[in-house]
Amino acid sequence: MQKSEEGLFVYWSVNQRLTHIVLFSAVIISVITGIPMKYYRLDFGMRFFQLFDSYIAVRMIHNAAGFLILTALLYHIGSIIYVWMRTEQFRKVIYMKFTKNDIKDFANYILFLFFLKKKPKFGKYSFFEKLDYYISFILLALLAITGLIQAFPIIATALISISWLLISVKLHSSLSVLFIVYVLFSHMFNTHYHPGRLYLNTVWLFGTLSEDEMKKMHYLEYMRVLKRDVDLREEYKKKA
Partner 1 sequence: MINNIFSKHAVLAAILVAGLLCAFAAPSYSKDVDDCILCHRHEGLRVTGADGNVRSFYVDYEHYKGSIHGSANCRRCHTSVTEVPHKKRYKKVNCGVVCHLKSIALKRSFSHSKIYDTFMTSSHGATNEDAPGCLNCHPQNLDKRGAKKSRLEILVECSKCHIDDKTMSKYDIFPGIVQSYENSLHSKVFFLENSSGAICTDCHSTHNILTKDEKTSPMNERNLYKTCAGKEAAVAGCHMATNPDFVYSFNHERVKEAGVATAFKVESTINFVIIALFYFLSIVNIIRIIRE
Stretch that binds partner 1, among 66-74, 77-85, 181-189, 200-208 (CB under 8 A): 181-189
- State which of residues 44, 153, 228, 231 lies at the interface with partner 1 (CB under 8 A): 153
Query: For residue 67, which amino acid is it?
Result: F
Cα–Cα distance for residue pair 101/224, rounded to 1 Å: 16
Q: Which helix (H) or strand (E) holds 234?
A: helix 219-239
Strand blocks (E) in 139-236: 208-209
Q: Which is nearer to partner 1, 47 or 227 (CB)?
A: 47
Q: Which helix (H) or strand (E) holds 2?
A: strand 2-3
Cα–Cα distance for residue pair 190/4, rounded to 1 Å: 25
User: What is the nearest approach in angstroms of partner 1 to the Cβ of residue 163?
Assistant: 3
Q: Which residues ranging from 79 to 108 are in contact with partner 1 (CB under 8 A)?
A: none
189 binds partner 1 (CB under 8 A): yes
Q: Which backbone phi and psi does 9 adopt, to 5 degrees?
A: -100, 125
199 binds partner 1 (CB under 8 A): no
Residues 115-134, one symbol each (x = binds partner 1 by CB under 8 A, - = not), give ----x---------------
170 binds partner 1 (CB under 8 A): yes
- State which of residues 21, 85, 181, 232 lies at the interface with partner 1 (CB under 8 A): 181
Cα–Cα distance for residue pair 139/181, rounded to 1 Å: 12
Cα–Cα distance for residue pair 167/34, rounded to 1 Å: 18
Q: Which residues ranging from 34 to 53 are in contact with partner 1 (CB under 8 A)?
A: 37, 40-41, 49
- State which of residues 89, 196, 236, 240 lies at the interface with partner 1 (CB under 8 A): 196
Cα–Cα distance for residue pair 78/106, rounded to 1 Å: 30
Q: Which helix (H) or strand (E) holds 236?
A: helix 219-239
Q: Which is nearer to partner 1, 54 or 89 (CB)?
A: 54
Torsion of CA 228, 229, 230, 235, to 10 degrees: 90
User: What is the nearest approach in angstroms of partner 1 to the Cβ of residue 73?
Assistant: 21
The site for partner 1 (CB under 8 A) is made up of 37, 40-41, 49, 54-56, 58, 112-113, 119, 153-155, 157-158, 161-167, 169-171, 173-175, 177-178, 181-182, 185-186, 189, 194-196
